[in-house]
Chain A
Amino acid sequence: MNLPAILTKAQIVENKEIIPQIYLMKLYSPELASRVIAGQFFHIKVADRTDLLLRRPLSVFNYSKDNVSMLYEVVGKGTAVLAEKRPGIELDILGPLGNGFSITPDVKQVILVSGGIGVAPIFCWAKELVDKKRQGTDIDIKVLIGAKNRYRVLCEEDFKGLGLVPEIATDDGSAGHNGFVTDLLKSDHCLPSTIDHRPSTVVYACGPNAMLKETAKALSDHKINGYVSMDRWMGCGMGVCLGCVVKTTDGKYKRACKDGPVFRADEIEWI
């Protein structure tokens, strides 16, 4: 059971551009750090501006005892304003929100798939899984990272720091596999078709919608369980406005902010 969200102010410790348009923001907040789990997000008030009225949801990338950090991409005016913020400024944060990732004890192999900035929650989850491993849980962790080109590959060193060696796929072939990260997932060395993976293998993915859709298809073909973290425009972040819904296979709409952002891949009605 996740701890309830709080409304708090957190001071920016660091906000630096890692590669063009990708920023790492670290906040000082023992309160948020003690509550958050991988896959959850913070709903951030980026400005007191009428043209930036709504909060912006950002996934947690990392947390320690005192700090939480987010890895984000400047995609619009909200994130552009956020990128301008200097250390020392306090941000108004609502969170942590959303369900976050989870794992059952019977899982023996985990495959983490990320595309672009989708690596943020995936890295956080990798860190938690490595912790579990250190505490004696027997799991094998594979990491697959997709990016446009070799300059856009994120967090390769961070994963290595956890003792994980990511496999890379780039759209232009400038690093790793020339193609999609889902090609790696579907490859025989990742998901050998001769082995019955159920139920010991689980895939977790975050990235562009097309990547998640393809991931879901691969999982369905191989009859493997998997989870996807969905990125949606959000209003309240608290599950009341019903603005961020995703359609599920039962024909209903579920809230990305509250029922998600992590969903079973086979639960989503992919479009």
Chain B
Amino acid sequence: MDMKPDLSVKIGDLELKNPVMMASGTFGYGEEYSGVIDLEKLGAIVVKAVTVNPTLGNRPPRIWEVTGGMLNSIGLQNEGLEYFIEKKVPFLRELNVPIIVNIAGSTVKEYKDLAVRLNEIPEISAFEINISCPNVKEGGMQFGTDPKWTNTVVKNVCDVTKKTVITKLSPNVTDVVKIAEAARDGGSDAVSLVNTFKAMAIDVKKRRPVLSTVTGGLSGPCIKPIAVRMVWEVASKLGIPVIGMGGIANAEDALEFMIAGATAVQIGTMTFVDPVTGMNVISGIEKYLREEIIKSLKL
């Protein structure tokens, strides 16, 4: 007997028709991929990090391919909050898909200011607090590697919004569970992990690092087993939804994260390789549920 499995999941107050989101920084503002995939089939879109002021980003070279992944050091380049609202939100608000805005600050106040301003836009479903960017000098990962700062940033955002709040965690810590707990205690509805691993590659001919910033963030399939382990550690302790990511290339990868305890997943680097990765993950999860006779992801 055939049945349509229920792929919907819930993150805080946010209902997703399926657990597959497009990760921040790898999907722009959605419209870039609108000609190639059907955006409305996605569980959610997490847009590129928004900062209060325009952010120039780092000097090139910014990316480098490594075995099983890539290094990046973009440095949160974006045109700032008001540009985002004026130029990017109009397209996003017409989409019938939850929009999650990744917010990044260099001070606690900036995170708060972002949340206050974006809170006015009803079509934004949730915030993903970026306290895990390894490629900026101020803020970013500094907040995400200290439980106290994590708690403070999260609290300041949660105080000013009733939208769902997700905190994106850095894997560059000794104990990710402590940071996740600090985010939860600050009021975060969920955590997403992992952001990129601080990493480095060297051009042996030039005897210099390949990236202008020396180190960057490692992403792609090569980080997946570490990411699954970290998701498992957090999910088994936390008591709030966990969104897993790190090198997901297909449904099996996504299911690994979900079996490790993730409620939902994000697709990042592999979208560059194959823009339809997210779509394939959705249909693959559905096929798996059918074959395994699982009626719903919520069970």
Q: Is A151 an interface residue (CB 8 A)?
A: no
Q: Is the CB of A51 within 8 A of B68?
A: yes
Number of B interface residues in the complex (CB < 8 A): 35
With the chains together, A5 CA to B25 CA distance in Å? 20
Q: Please give, as numbers and ranges, the residues of chain A lying within 8 Å of B77 by CB-CB distance.
A: 242, 245, 253
A245 cross-chain contacts in B, Cβ below 8 A: 57, 60, 62, 77
Closest CB in chain A relative to B112 CB, distance in Å: 26
| Complex interface: stretch among B201-209, B272-280, B288-296 | B272-280
Closest to B75 in A: A242
B67 within 8 A of A: yes
Interface hits, A226-271 → B, CB 8 Å:
232-247, 251-253, 258
Assess A239 versus B272: contact at CB under 8 Å? Given A51-B67, A252-B56. Answer: no
> Is the C-beta of B32 less than 8 angstroms from some C-beta in chain A?
yes
Size band of the A side of the interface? 20 to 34
- Contact residues in B for A5 (Cβ distance below 8 Å): 35-36
Q: Given the complex of chains A and B, what is the CA–CA distance between A245 and B33 in angstroms?
A: 19
Query: Does residue B161 face the partner (Cβ distance < 8 Å to A)?
Result: no
CB of B90 within 8 A of chain A?
no
Q: Do A238 and B33 touch (CB < 8 A)?
A: yes
Those of B6-50 within 8 Å (CB) of chain A = 25-28, 32-33, 35-36, 48
List residues of chain B with CB within 8 A of the CB of A234.
63
> Which residues in B have their C-beta under 8 angstroms from that of A258?
32
The answer to whether B36 and A6 have CB atoms under 8 Å apart is yes
- Chain A residues in 8 Å Cβ range of B269: 53
Whether B65 lies near A45 (C-beta < 8 A) is no
Query: Known contacts being A238-B33, A239-B28, A245-B57, is A54 close to B273, with CB within 8 Å?
Result: yes
Interface residues of A (CB under 8 A from B): 4-7, 45, 50-55, 92, 94, 232-247, 251-253, 258
Q: Sample 15 A-B pairs with CB under 8 A, ordered by A number.
A: A4-B36, A7-B36, A50-B222, A51-B67, A54-B65, A54-B273, A234-B63, A236-B26, A236-B271, A239-B28, A240-B27, A243-B74, A245-B62, A253-B60, A253-B77
Closest 9 CB pairs of A and B: A243-B63, A240-B28, A4-B35, A236-B272, A50-B68, A51-B67, A242-B74, A243-B62, A235-B272
